Amino acid sequence: MRSLTLLALSGLAVAVSTPLYKNSKASVDDRVADLLKRMTIEDKASQLLQGDFSNWINTTDGTFNKTGLEWNMKYRASQFYVGYPTNWTTISHGIKIAQDYLVNNTTLGIPALVQSEGIHGFLIPNATIFNSPIGYACSWNPSLVEKMAKVIAREALALGVNQLFAPLGDLARVENAFRETPDCISCTELRYGRVEESFSEDPYLTGEMAYSYVKGLQSRQVAATVKHFAGVATPEQGINTGPVHGGQRELLTTYMPSYKRAIIDAGAYSVMSAYHCYDGVPAVANAYMLTDILRDSWGYKYFVTSDAGGTDRLCSAFNLCRAAPIDSEAVVSMALTAGTDSEMGGGSYNYQKIPDMVKAGKLNQSVVDTAVSRLLRAKFALGLFEKPYQGVADDKAKDYINTPDAIKLARDLDAESIVLLENHNNVLPLKKSAKVAVIGPMGHGYMNYGDYVPYLSQYRGVTPYDGIKAASNSTVTFTQGCERWSNSESGFPAAVAAAEAADVAVVVVGTWSRDQNELWQNLNATTGEHIDTSTLNLVGAMPRLVSAVINTGKPTVVVFSSGKPVTEAWISQNATALVQQFYPSEQGGNALADVLYGAVNPSGKLSVGFPTDVGTLPVYYDYLNSGRSWPNPGRAYSNGTLVFGTNYVLDTPIPLYEFGYGKSYSTFHYKNLKLSKGRASAEDKLTVTVDVTNNSTRDGSEVIQLYVRDDIASVVVPNIQLKGFSKVLIKAGETATVKIPLDVADLGLWDIRLNYVVEPGNFTVFAGSSSKDLRLNSTLTVQ
């Protein structure tokens, strides 16, 4: 009996000696509370600051600095950034050293979040590069986006990285190019350099893409960071980090839905605040956004981090505090209390002042505890205390990174994202027997990737020339024609000769960005973070090169390889075919060839509308009622004829290509639109069905788009809004009955007192192939 008692007591002692926060079976809230009470104020401050991999690892030669590791983990133990262009082994070994140290050599053993970038691929050399977000959103295929995110997570986790700064919840909408105080419903500026990183002009499509990305990433135990909260992508004059003008209704109606879908519905473990100010309040210290909406209204439980150097801007950019030197205490008082829980590096590390401020009575410790709790909650939910490091053995990394399945997915997603804008005389698909001249600076010699790719990535991948040559059974040549950054026409004669010797010319032109190192070295570029433009036209000699090739009289297929819409309406009229391929994946050339030769029937639909000229912005489809009321366009013809209108005098407010537009090699007929209920309450969920027939001899995928109009409303609302879609493969000659869910609760508005309500009355439900091509409609009555 005595021995049994001693045994029981021994077991109890072991149980007591194991802290509750290390018990994986305990609730997350209990674990957070237990750990928080064991932490000193210094421990807590350390959990609110980002460290950096380079503090203990030389990213050039891999040398380990023990002193640097100890210092970093004393003051900045919460998380650390590893997005450097070094080899896989250096990254994985350095991460494991850090996690082992934290778990085994610190008092509480709190593992770190290990951070990098990942908007279209894990930011490490030779990982899989997918097409840019503005591109893969044109696939209108959330399931493929989720698969992509799973691949990105797998590649990151193989080296021990457990958090990625992606996806963006920003909208790629277009603001008036010359108005500095928008009164429109919303909008990302197309002059803004980061359009390529965004998904769409539309809140619903953006939300679905961001949701799928978050779900895919976090299903593999890698935390997503939804950025940049909120409404950042409409900067004044299109200039990066510029102020954004707007009111509460605009914020709630247009900007917030996509963030809520990604953050709340998908369960994102972190959010990144933004650099801008909205309506005069910096986002990094905007309590209305970060606390009233995100926490109190939506119930978000995890943490918000600043962007790199973003907290310093309270003093250095917004002049809310002393800037020289930065008033760190003022920064903490504004940002931390507003709801920015964690401070990223790249600035003054203001949050290191937290212990002194608490001890001096300048900062309430409950504010610190709340922020730390949110961050710890994410770590527990992610399973870091059970598996702080999930990297694989060095010789196994190749089995996880840039594998054949990832490469195939990159090609498939890219091909589904390509949008066929024009196909005069059905010149496409090309015959494999045709002699092809590939022309243009984006056609070969480098990969025209978007930003957020590793250093020198542009020299790895399949170019348009590579892909076309591999697909063709005939002669394929490449002639550059001009440099992308030059006005020189010295290469034109060779380009013209190549076109004349071929059966068809494929001219690849557009915009360009840089890799994540070169982008910040003042090298030329026309898109990317901090690279903003005053025009959406082709640069330098490129438009003249296109014209010279078209003038040969040979069939000319123009491919826009770009990070944003290109405004060259004359090309739409004069080229034989026009294809939009937003910044490609590493398989971009093969994906393009798949579409050009018909191995893939184009199914991409524009995620953003194309204006005829930058001066006609904005052209987003969901303009407020009363917008574009009296279109009376004029036009300047190429022969010099001027036809005068009133709006605009020599142009049109109507987009050249509207949101949701995209051609196919097949034709589709819509009929029999039905609602499961014709009368419904605000709590009801409906099903909309429509029969779609493929009237062609070629199998093809169609994106059936569901739009809703609020016929009578108490405030001015968008003329129509996307509320659902379905991408369906329909075999030649067959009919598919497509079902799209519609939640009546999503048909509400923010009323005159800014309450969200679904008002009774009639709503017109449309089904169509684009926001303009609305083929069927039915009436829903909400009671």
Residue 570 and residue 680 in one domain: no
Whether 592 and 559 have beta carbons less than 8 Å apart is answered as yes
Query: For residue 119, is it within any domain?
Result: no
Q: Are residues 677 and 604 in the same domain?
A: no
Q: What is the CATH number of the domain that holds 689?
A: 2.60.40.10
Average pLDDT, the chain: 95
Residue 769 lies in a domain: yes
In a domain? residue 727: yes
- What is the per-residue pLDDT across 593-625, written as a single tens digit (0 to 9) for each? 999 999 999 999 999 999 999 999 999 999 999
Same domain, 600 and 687: no
Paired with 781 in beta bridges are: 679, 762
Instruction: Please give the Cα distance from 123 to 401 (Å, whole number).
Output: 12
Instruction: Say whether both 688 and 553 belong to one domain.
Output: no
| Domain endpoint, select from 608, 634, 656 | 608
pTM: 0.96
- Give me the domain span that covers residue 760: 668-782
The answer to whether residues 689 and 602 belong to one domain is no
CATH number where 480 lies: 3.40.50.1700
How many folded domains does the chain comprise?
2
- The crossing angle, in degrees rounded to 10, of helices 542-550 and 492-500 is 30
Same domain, 556 and 696: no
Return the amino acid letter for 513.
S
Same-domain check for residues 714 and 583: no
pLDDT at 97: 98
- pLDDT > 80? residue 764: yes
In a domain, 366, yes or no: no
In terms of domains, do 511 and 421 share one? yes
Determine the pLDDT at residue 173: 67
Report the distance separating Cα 721 and Cα 203, nearest Å.
Answer: 9
**Domain end call among 582, 608, 634:** 608
Residue 437 shares a structural domain with residue 550: yes
Beta strands in 444-576 (DSSP E): 476-479, 504-510, 556-562
At 629 the pLDDT is 78
For 465-513, write each residue's pLDDT tens digit: 999 999 999 999 999 999 999 999 999 999 999 999 999 999 999 999 9
Cα–Cα distance, 433 to 645 (Å, whole number): 47
Query: Tell me: the pLDDT tens digits for 418-476?
Result: 999 999 999 999 999 999 999 999 999 999 999 999 999 999 999 999 999 999 999 99
Residues 516 and 447 reside in one and the same domain: yes
Write the pLDDT tens digit of every residue in 373-393.
999 999 999 999 999 999 999
Any domain includes 735: yes
Tokens coding 108: 């509480």
Q: Tell me if 278 is assigned to some domain.
A: no
Nearest-angstrom CA–CA distance, 436 and 498: 9
Where does a domain end: 561, 577, 608? 608
Shared-domain flag, residues 546 and 419: yes
**18 located within any domain:** no
Give a yes or no: residue 706 inside a domain.
Answer: yes
Q: Are 728 and 701 in contact (CB under 8 A)?
A: yes
The β-bridge partners of 348 are: none
Verify that 701 and 583 share a domain, yes or no: no
Instruction: Give 135's pLDDT tier (boundaries 50, 70, 90).
Output: very high
Cα-Cα-Cα-Cα dihedral of 442, 445, 446, 447, to 10°? 60
